[in-house]
Structure 1
Amino acid sequence: HPLSQKNLGDMYRKGLGVKKNNAEALKWYRASAERGNAWGLLSLGRMYEQGRGVKKNYATAVKWYRKAAEIGLALAQNNLGTMFRKGNGTPRDDVQAVKWYRKAAKQGNAFGQKNLGDMYRKGRGVKRNYKSTIKWYCASAKKGETWGLLSLGRMYEQGRGVKKNFKTAVKWYRQAAEKGLPLAQNMLANLYRRGKGVRRNDKEALKWYRKAATQCEGLPGGIEVVSGFRR
């Protein structure tokens, strides 16, 4: 059964009940994909995109993502949109990226909603429109997607597409920060330190800076991520 093949691939990829084995995961994902299972197609595409159990090959990843996306799998549509946006395995095409992000977003995929919001904010593949940005960030944030929460907070902090409101920015940053997103933790700390949207509290600022810094420790440019947002 193709879904069972995909699930077996997951077990090998994650090392659940069996020793982790990306080559074996790839084998079962391929078996599922070749029988047309959308999740098998998506999973096989991810293995090629990430170079797990096989040499990294963006063009092949695009091939499998497209098959899953055309079946209607929202997450595959989002991933295909990202390949077009980055120009990985296919010529960069922002219009195509918007097309696939929109398909994913309309199905309620939180990643697609956040990414479509980004395209409207940057004016890539579509005319810049902050109102539409807010609409899609809000949809993503309401599903609890961490980057959607952060992005919506930024719009309120900066007053783009909505009246500037530091208190509301704090609300969204806090939700993303509590989910463990270092950049959101840093942004929340900034507002505590400046007393914007919340009573100034250097101890709280330090707490959130420390959480962000600890997560970034050892990563390239990690400390700069924290210090770079201090004003």
Structure 2
Amino acid sequence: MKKIVFILVLLLGVSLSDGYAEHNKGSKQKESELYKKACDGGYVRGCYILGLLYDIGDGVKQNKQKASELYKKACDGGDMSGCYNLGLLYYDGDGVRQNKQKAKELYKKACDGGNMRGCYNLGFLYDIGDGVKQNKQKASQLYKKACDGGHMVGCSSLGNLYSNGDGVKQNKQKAKELFEKACDGGDMKGCYNLGLLYYDGDGVKQNKKKAKKLYKKTCDGGDIGGCFILGVLYDNGDGVRQNKQKAKKLYKKACDGGNMRGCYNLGVLYYDGDGIRQNKQKAKELFEKACDGGHMGGCSNLGLLYAIGGGVRQNKQKAKELFGKACDRGLNSGCKNYKILNEQGY
């Protein structure tokens, strides 16, 4: 679970005010000393901030165990951010022994105390049944609480439940409203999901131009999935004027960001020389990256290159291994090609 942490410096008292000034001067060691003094003096927010410094190694040597102790002190003193961050450590087993039940309890305490990130994370556990019995209805309630409290990812996640009818009665209009709220609030997954509704005409009037704008916003906002989908639109001329060069750039951005479908599609462009200069060696590298990243189409296409000697030295044994890998993960074309090579004695 991705950790989201914020340094919220409350200028209450001379010590924290001085600490903030020292931070602006770049004296992070002095800053940590002042937060320690505040913590030792009973100001639990100082304990939380000092724990955060140890957690991320900012001005002090990173020490997750020390961070957990300080978060606990903050949490016990009523600082809900301390409870939330301690829950993150227990969830990941980071500096403490992994204990998802403990993480759940801490998220609940944080949520009950008004920390919306705690509500969202607790909802996520119930949504996927991680450390708790899966309960989509409970997840929907917690996502709603988070959303109402200004947590935009909670809005987007609640929108997903309404879109699919999970734990709530299916309501595409409600899903659309929640995705809009999330998107307007800066959550790129909300923009992405709203784009899907407009692209498919799912509960809304189909509008591919609107979908394209939302995918662009998503991509520009750092959500790589949006870059990939936008690349597909330009690749196929779907709702936009076909532009293979634009598709190439978007697939590359997606691939560089870890989206293996982007790597695969970019590999196809290079192999076919479709709107770009053909480069089978580059295609091979991209299929290899996609395959290593878990995209079985990449494994299958890499197998084809080795089977025919396309951009690589022909190696049918290697091809068979790659087809077998794809087949084992459920790709039918991999199974068929594996069978062909097996019958040929490879």
TM (norm. structure 1) is 0.92
Partner residue, 1:122: 200
- 2:327 and 2:333 in contact (8 A); partners too: no
Q: Deviations over 1:90-129 (max 9, x none)?
A: 1222111111001011112111111111110001121110
Bigger radius of gyration, 1 or 2?
Answer: 2
- What number of residue pairs does the alignment pair up? 227
How far did residue 36 of structure 1 move? 2.2
- 1:152 and 1:172 in contact (8 A); partners too: yes
Is 2:222 the counterpart of 1:144? yes
219 and 95 in structure 1: CA distance in 2 versus 1, 3 angstrom threshold: farther
Q: Given the alignment, which residue of 331, 341, 344 partners 1:224?
A: 331
- 1:183 and 1:226 in contact (8 A); partners too: no
Partner residue, 1:181: 259
Which AA in structure 2 matches 1:105? C
How far did residue 160 of structure 1 move? 2.2
How far did residue 88 of structure 1 move? 1.3
SS state of the match for residue 120, structure 1? helix
Question: Aligned equivalents of 2:230 and 2:256: distance in 1?
Answer: 15
196 and 219 in structure 1: CA distance in 2 versus 1, 3 angstrom threshold: closer
Q: Given the alignment, which residue of 218, 224, 236 partners 1:158?
A: 236
- 2:236 and 2:242 in contact (8 A); partners too: yes
Is 2:57 the counterpart of 1:57? no
Gaps of 5+ in 1: none
1:1-231 to structure 2, matched below 5 A, reads 1-216=79-294, 222=329, 224=331
Question: Aligned equivalents of 2:329 and 2:175: distance in 1?
Answer: 29
- 1:174 and 1:184 in contact (8 A); partners too: yes
How well do the aligned residues superpose, as a CA RMSD in angstroms? 1.9
TM (norm. structure 2) is 0.63
Question: Aligned equivalents of 1:193 and 1:167: distance in 2?
Answer: 14
SS state of the match for residue 285, structure 2? helix
Question: Aligned equivalents of 2:193 and 2:82: distance in 1?
Answer: 31
How far did residue 145 of structure 1 move? 0.8
